[in-house]
Amino acid sequence: MQRTTMRRDIRTLKPEDLSQLVSDLGQPAFRAKQIGEWLFQKNVRSFDEMTNLPKALREQLAERYSFSAPTETARQVSRDGSRKYLLTFSDGTAVETVGMPRRNKLAVCISTQAGCAMGCAFCATGMSGLMRSLSAREMVDQVLHVADDFNERVTSVVFMGQGEPFANFDATVEALRMLNDPDGLAIGARHLTVSTCGIIPSIRRFAELPEQFTLAVSLHSAVQETRNKLMPGVKKFTLLRLHETLQLYTEKTGRRPSYEFAMIDGVNDTRPEMEALVDFCAGTLCHVNLIQLNDIPSSPLKPSPQEKVERLQHLLEMHGVETTIRNSRGQDIDAACGQLKQRFAVKKAGE
Ligand code: SAH
Ligand code: SF4
């Protein structure tokens, strides 16, 4: 475990705190912008790397502040180029993060909590319970780590790793804003996607945000009884209320939520299940993402055959519901959705 320090991590400062700091140190205002660029665009790990600051200022900063970026404790690289990292924070808590390169783009999937309390039956993370929620800084640090490792600009971030972002709402919104900040990573709001299992009060709050962040909802069944079994943590937020809330969301924001639907053999791929999903979606603003369940060896739930996935896509499209079949990336390294649990059997970083 890393040594804890009494000095505050400089990366927890907001732009206004940096302005205050440089003014307290008797420095001109533009120094705050320079420091911000080193911290949030160039992602440096020491004050010495801030080469356009006078040496005396760098020393003053080092006396007052520390850097506590997470440490990479393991990694796996997929055949498709995705990289999964186990990142450990200074208190020893570890989370998984995935970088997914495609052509000139780099998407990052981050965790918002270590573990998850929602207990979804098909999700590897849900099986381990909740350790703790992450801070906004810890979420942004995952993105910076991947940017650094690929040495590329991150073009989109999905909050779809471990944890339920809307059970950690304030930190999630703070992280979204840090990622969106034009003086930071400057990732467009529409390229920042938060996925929730359907916590209604938080969806309402999300709808009130002025930014155009993207919302994804894990639906997985439009039949109440099935959904209760698959997603017991959100039983109290019924499908009826979820439907109403999503209507409000689209009216309020004019934006289209996407629904995640992982197809599970014999569970949510039957004719009545398909029809219920069509009823839930038809005539509303939404986009359905179908995916074959990612197999978790210890679970009795198994993926539906591909032809069922195609049949459901066809049915939805016949009713005017836009639908995409998604292929999971990084399946060979358990990086695909729901498979992020700490199963780095092996390698220490860099081996
Ligand atoms: N807690 C949030 C975000 C993290 S889970 C949520 O549930 O939306 C990210 C996505 O992976 C969710 O859509 C989740 O339903 C999906 N998922 C979890 N386990 C899966 C599995 N075994 N196969 C396919 N998708 C899965
Ligand atoms: Fe938590 Fe999402 Fe997994 Fe459900 S699917 S247990 S909400 S991480």
Please check whether residue 345 lies inside any domain of the structure: no
Residue 330 reports pLDDT greater than 90: no
Contact at 8 Å (CB) between 46 and 59?
A: no
**Judgement on whether residues 167 and 239 belong to the same structural domain of the protein:** yes
Please check whether residue 82 lies inside any domain of the structure: no
Q: Cβ(263) to ligand 1 under 6 A?
A: no
Kindly report which listed range (34-43, 109-118, 238-247, 303-312) carries the lowest average pLDDT score: 34-43
**Judgement on whether residues 164 and 247 belong to the same structural domain of the protein:** yes
Q: What is the pLDDT of residue 212?
A: 95
Residue 31 belongs to domain with CATH number: 1.10.150.530
Cα separation, 111 vs 203, in Å, equals 19
Nearest to 33 by CA among 183, 153, 187: 183
Please check whether residue 30 lies inside any domain of the structure: yes
Determine the atom of ligand 2 nearest the C-alpha atom of 125: 3
Name every protein residue with a CB atom under 6 angstroms from any ligand 2 atom. Answer: 116, 118-120, 123, 125-126, 163-164, 197, 218
Measure Cα distances from 275 to 138, 226, 270, 321 in Å.
Answer: 41, 14, 9, 12
Contact at 8 Å (CB) between 297 and 305?
A: no
**Catalytic choice (96, 164, 260, 273):** 96
Interval between CA 115 and ligand 2 midpoint (Å): 9
**Judgement on whether residues 239 and 312 belong to the same structural domain of the protein:** yes
337: pLDDT confidence band, cut at 50, 70 and 90? Answer: low
**Ligand 1 atom 20: residue of nearest CA:** 338
Ligand nearest to the CA of 125: 2
Cβ-based neighbours of 211, under 8 Å, separated by 6 or more: 176, 177, 180, 189
**Judgement on whether residues 170 and 312 belong to the same structural domain of the protein:** yes
Please check whether residue 130 lies inside any domain of the structure: yes
**Catalytic choice (116, 123, 286, 337):** 337
**Judgement on whether residues 102 and 56 belong to the same structural domain of the protein:** no
Ligand nearest to the CA of 166: 1
Q: Where in the sequence is the domain holding 41, given as residue range(s)?
A: 16-66
299: pLDDT confidence band, cut at 50, 70 and 90? Answer: confident
Nearest to 196 by CA among 173, 223, 225: 173
Higher pLDDT, 153 or 351: 153
Residue 190 reports pLDDT greater than 90: yes
Q: Cβ(111) to ligand 1 under 6 A?
A: no
For the chain, what percent of residues have pLDDT higher than 70? Answer: 92
Interval between CA 197 and ligand 2 midpoint (Å): 7
Q: Cβ(303) to ligand 1 under 6 A?
A: no
**For 210-237, what is each residue's pLDDT tens digit?**
999 999 999 999 999 999 999 999 999 9
**Judgement on whether residues 142 and 268 belong to the same structural domain of the protein:** yes
Higher pLDDT, 332 or 195: 195
Please check whether residue 74 lies inside any domain of the structure: no
Residue 209 belongs to domain with CATH number: 3.20.20.70
Interval between CA 301 and ligand 1 midpoint (Å): 14
Interval between CA 123 and ligand 1 midpoint (Å): 6
**Judgement on whether residues 143 and 263 belong to the same structural domain of the protein:** yes
**Judgement on whether residues 47 and 188 belong to the same structural domain of the protein:** no
Give CA 81 to chain center in angstroms: 19
One DSSP character per residue, 28-81 reads: -THHHHHHHHHHHTS--SSGGG-TTS-HHHHHHHHHHEE--PPEEEEEEE-TTS
**Ligand 1 atom 4: residue of nearest CA:** 160
Please check whether residue 72 lies inside any domain of the structure: no
Interval between CA 162 and ligand 2 midpoint (Å): 7
Measure Cα distances from 302 to 107, 226, 233, 265 in Å.
Answer: 27, 15, 21, 6
Q: What is the pLDDT of residue 304?
A: 97
**Judgement on whether residues 43 and 192 belong to the same structural domain of the protein:** no
Please check whether residue 303 lies inside any domain of the structure: yes
Ligand nearest to the CA of 221: 1
96 included as an active-site residue: yes
337 included as an active-site residue: yes
**Judgement on whether residues 196 and 280 belong to the same structural domain of the protein:** yes
For the chain, what percent of residues have pLDDT higher than 90? Answer: 78
Please check whether residue 281 lies inside any domain of the structure: yes
Residue 42 reports pLDDT greater than 90: no
298: pLDDT confidence band, cut at 50, 70 and 90? Answer: confident
**Judgement on whether residues 140 and 283 belong to the same structural domain of the protein:** yes
Place of tokens 């969106």: 180
* Alpha helix stretches (DSSP H) within the chain: 15-24, 30-40, 55-64, 136-150, 169-180, 200-207, 224-230, 239-253, 271-281, 306-318
Q: Give the angle subtended at the CA of 295 by the CAs of 289 and 301, to the nearest 5°.
A: 90
Q: How many domains does one find in the chain? A: 2
**Judgement on whether residues 43 and 128 belong to the same structural domain of the protein:** no
Nearest to 261 by CA among 226, 285, 298: 226
